[in-house]
């Protein structure tokens, strides 16, 4: 497990203050925050590269607050990978494997290479590798000494979206297979939704909010968190395909079922999924709306309205599902929105964000 207890770090003019976070053994924790919020500094403090100003760090039930990095048994993967340029792929992967520890170095290198699809590249120089390949080598190198704890610094930031999806899937599988307690920092909330058991949102060097990804997304505690992750409605449910898969895009029309609610969606995969509804994508009307676009129509009741100068946040209840819509103040006036009013909520199929 990873337990940060009131951690404070000061680097240059920058400070992390009172960071507390617990990732259970085998769990996957995420720290999200915009660039410059101190995410990398936090990882380096956990790895032992930056001394603490305050607090304690406990890894695997051992207080490592004052232990040097080589005694902490953590693996770290930096955003820019930082492979050793003077070593081959195999040399990089095997760097941290100690022969004297009784491990078979070659065997471990080959196991990891196979797991991450690097077998063909083992003798290669690292300079010619693609971003995705470098990422895998960095991951294999970090995992090779069986560290028990893995720290990932924006692992998907430097790869294209297709590679990112693939890597995310691999990482999740790897995490389950190796049972390794993982802490990842990211600025991408989608990473958190797909991967995380525990999420902490960092702002101004402090934890603005921590909890399960769903809870943080659904109930942002501060304006910063809400703005940063983009609050809205998140539904857990199942995707069922209703049309053939488009060969070109790999996408298909489907229905998303959640809480007795059915939404037409455009999906990439079937099965368990989250649907994210951005408040601005929910259109409200008092009558059945017209329009050619395939729209989902739901009947809902307004439960509460929060007005700001230009927009109004409208809280709705559709059966057992809570929805949040943001409309222009003028629209709210025209519709005469008030609590207990029955309205029709329209959402384009393409506006339902499945993750």
Question: Rounded to the nearest whole angstrom, what is the least distance from the CB of residue 157 to another protein in the complex?
Answer: 15
Contacting residue, 55, 145, 220, 279, with another protein by CB under 8 A: 145
Question: Rounded to the nearest whole angstrom, what is the least distance from the CB of residue 40 to another protein in the complex?
Answer: 9
9: tokens are: 């770090």
CA distance 144 to 48: 19
Task: Decide: is 96 part of the binding site for another protein (CB under 8 A).
Answer: yes
Span interacting with another protein, options 71-79, 211-219, 273-281, 294-302, rule CB under 8 A: 71-79
Task: Decide: is 148 part of the binding site for another protein (CB under 8 A).
Answer: no
252: tokens are: 């298909």
Beta bridge partners, 263, equal 256
Span interacting with another protein, options 105-113, 143-151, 236-244, 267-275, rule CB under 8 A: 143-151
Task: Decide: is 78 part of the binding site for another protein (CB under 8 A).
Answer: yes
Span interacting with another protein, options 91-99, 162-170, 199-207, 211-219, rule CB under 8 A: 91-99
Per CB under 8 A, which of residues 36..65 are in contact with another protein?
Answer: 44, 47-49
SS3 string of 126-141? HHHCCHHHHHHHHHHH
Question: Rounded to the nearest whole angstrom, what is the least distance from the CB of residue 70 to another protein in the complex?
Answer: 5
CA distance 238 to 218: 19
Q: Which is nearer to another protein, 45 or 202 (CB)?
A: 45
Task: Decide: is 194 part of the binding site for another protein (CB under 8 A).
Answer: no
Of 65, 315, 77, 327, nearest to 183 (Cα)? 77
User: Could you tell me which residues come within 8 angstroms of residue 217 by beta carbon, excluding any fewer than 6 positions away?
Assistant: 189, 193, 229, 231, 232, 234, 276
Contacting residue, 9, 16, 72, 258, with another protein by CB under 8 A: 72
DSSP single-letter state for residue 114 = H
Contacting residue, 13, 35, 70, 340, with another protein by CB under 8 A: 70
Task: Decide: is 154 part of the binding site for another protein (CB under 8 A).
Answer: no
Question: Rounded to the nearest whole angstrom, what is the least distance from the CB of residue 142 to another protein in the complex?
Answer: 8
Q: Please list, residue by residue across 235-256, b when 16 or more beta carbons sit within 10 angstroms of its beta carbon and e when fewer do.
A: bebebeeeeeeeeeeeebbbbb
Of 140, 71, 149, nearest to 110 (Cα)? 140
Task: Decide: is 86 part of the binding site for another protein (CB under 8 A).
Answer: yes
What is the DSSP track for 160-185? -HHHHHHHHHHHHHHHHHHT-EEEEE
Per-residue binder mask for another protein (CB under 8 A), 98-127, x = binder: x-----------------------------
Question: In terms of DSSP bridges, do strands 181-186 and 149-153 run parallel, antiparallel, or are they unpaired?
Answer: parallel
Q: Which is nearer to another protein, 78 or 315 (CB)?
A: 78
What residue ranges bind another protein (CB under 8 A)? 44, 47-49, 68-70, 72, 74-76, 78, 80, 82, 84-86, 95-96, 98, 141-142, 144-145, 147
């Amino acid at each position: 497990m990873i337990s940060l207890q009131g951690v404070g770090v000061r680097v240059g003019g920058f400070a992390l203050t009172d960071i507390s976070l617990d990732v259970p053994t085998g769990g996957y924790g995420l720290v999200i925050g915009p660039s410059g919020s101190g995410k990398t500094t936090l990882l380096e403090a956990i790895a032992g590269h930056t001394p603490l100003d305050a607090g304690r760090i406990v890894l695997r039930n051992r207080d490592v607050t004052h232990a040097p990095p080589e005694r902490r048994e953590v693996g770290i993967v930096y955003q820019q990978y930082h492979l050793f340029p003077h070593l081959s792929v195999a040399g990089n992967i095997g760097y941290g494997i100690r022969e004297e520890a009784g491990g078979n170095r070659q065997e471990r290198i080959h196991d990891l290479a196979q797991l991450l699809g690097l077998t063909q590249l083992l003798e290669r120089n690292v300079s010619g590798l693609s971003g995705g390949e470098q990422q895998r080598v960095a991951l294999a190198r970090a995992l090779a000494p069986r560290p028990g704890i893995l720290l990932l610094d924006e692992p998907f930031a430097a790869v294209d979206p297709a590679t990112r999806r693939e890597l995310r899937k691999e990482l999740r599988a790897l995490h389950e297979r190796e049972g390794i307690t993982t802490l990842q920092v990211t600025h991408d909330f989608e990473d958190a939704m797909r991967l995380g058991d525990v999420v902490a949102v960092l702002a101004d060097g402090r934890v603005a909010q921590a909890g399960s990804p769903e809870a943080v997304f659904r109930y942002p505690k501060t304006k910063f968190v809400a703005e940063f992750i983009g609050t809205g409605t998140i539904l857990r449910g199942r995707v069922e395909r209703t049309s053939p898969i488009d060969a070109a895009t790999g996408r298909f029309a489907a229905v998303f079922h959640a809480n007795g609610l059915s939404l037409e969606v455009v999906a990439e995969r079937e099965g368990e999924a989250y649907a994210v509804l951005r408040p601005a994508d929910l259109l409200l009307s008092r009558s059945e709306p017209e329009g050619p676009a395939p729209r989902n129509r739901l009947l809902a009741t307004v439960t509460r309205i929060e007005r700001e100068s230009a927009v109004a946040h409208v809280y709705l209840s559709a059966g057992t599902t809570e929805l949040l819509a943001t409309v222009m103040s003028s629209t709210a006036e025209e519709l005469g929105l008030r609590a207990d009013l029955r309205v029709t909520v329209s959402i384009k199929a393409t506006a339902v964000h499945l993750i």
